[in-house]
Amino acid sequence: MILSNRLVLWNIDLTLLDVAKVARGAYAEAFATVVGRPLVQLPQMAGMTEPEIFFDALGRNGVSLRADGESERLLAPFGAEYATRLAARRDQITAEGTLLPGAADALRAVAGIGGVVQSVLTGSSRPNATLKLHAFGLDRYLDLAVGGFAGSEPYPKGALLRATRLRAEEKYQVSFAEKLTVYIADATRDVEAAKIGGATCVGVASGRASSVELREAGADLVLPGLTRQRDLVAFITALA
């Protein structure tokens, strides 16, 4: 039994780390293998889930999104191939990827708040998310068993946030009130997901969105980055 009932969920890419260069190489190889044509135009990725990115990539690269379900049937084999190609680049993730400034310290600081449960709400699949977090040693602070992985689960992020909260409540046998569920992310779409999922949102201007854009999207707190751990801890603590 935990002592308090705060649930803190983290986005991964461009909030905690940046492995875009490595991921793009794995993505291009997987796309060519499964779809049968080269990835010429990269899809938009900020705040999107892996399935959304895949269907966007199909359209941008001249693959017809037909109503007979053929595009949907490509999703599962592509996801498996992408995970395989990314795992093969495990060493590159740490060599060429970047742990964003303050990320590890922020996770450690939030973990120090009495009884807080930390996990993730990410557009990545479970194997890809786990691989990236483990590469930088961030998984030690997170309970991934209750995390939300939009690349592996058939929910948009807003609905997945609610499902993640229910999983955490079931495991820890406490109620996580909406206000005491905090989603920390870098994209305006993630701010919108937090509002849909009934969570408090901390916007971090470490990705494509500016502080102004995150604030206008409705973030309850906006930070320029994760180096200001005191501000983050004070905000989460005050929610009680």
Average per-residue pLDDT for the chain: 93
Predicted pLDDT at 62? 84
Q: Is the pLDDT of residue 240 over 70?
A: yes
Is residue 197 predicted with pLDDT exceeding 50? yes
Cβ neighbours for 134, distance < 8 A, ≥ 6 positions apart = none
Question: What confidence tier does 108 reach under pLDDT thresholds 50, 70, 90?
Answer: very high
Q: What is the pLDDT of residue 66?
A: 63
pLDDT at 128: 97
Average the pLDDT over 197-216 and give the result. Answer: 97
> What are the backbone dihedrals phi and psi of residue 63, each rounded to the nearest 5 degrees, phi first?
-95, 125
Q: In this predicted structure, what is the pLDDT of residue 192?
A: 96
Strand partners, 41: none
Structure tokens at 176: 């996580």
* Whether residue 201 has pLDDT greater than 80: yes
Q: Looking at residue 107, what is its pLDDT? A: 98
| CA distances, 52 to each of 61, 92, 104 (Å) | 14, 25, 28
- For 152-165, what is each residue's pLDDT tens digit? 988 889 999 999 99
Please, which pLDDT band fits residue 3 given cuts at 50, 70 and 90? very low
pLDDT at 1 over 80: no
pLDDT at 46 over 80: no
The full 3-state SS of the chain, as one line of letters, equals CCCCCCEEEECCECCCEECHHHHHHHHHHHHHHHHCCCCCCCCCCCCCCHHHHHHHHHHHCCCCCCCCCHHHHHHHHHHHHHHHHHHCCHHHHHHHCEECCCHHHHHHHHHCCCCCEEEEEECCCHHHHHHHHHHCCCHHHCCHHHCEECCCCCCCHHHHHHHHHHHHHHHHCCCCCHHHEEEEECCHHHHHHHHHCCCEEEEECCCCCCHHHHHHHCCCEEECCCCCHHHHHHHHHHCC
The mean per-residue pLDDT over the stretch 112-118 comes to 93
pLDDT of 118-137, one tens digit each?
Answer: 999 999 999 999 999 999 99
| Mean pLDDT of the 72-82 span | 93
Residues in contact with 31: Cβ distance below 8 Å, sequence separation at least 6, in sequence order: 37, 38, 39, 57, 61, 78
Confidence of residue 72 (pLDDT cuts 50, 70, 90): confident
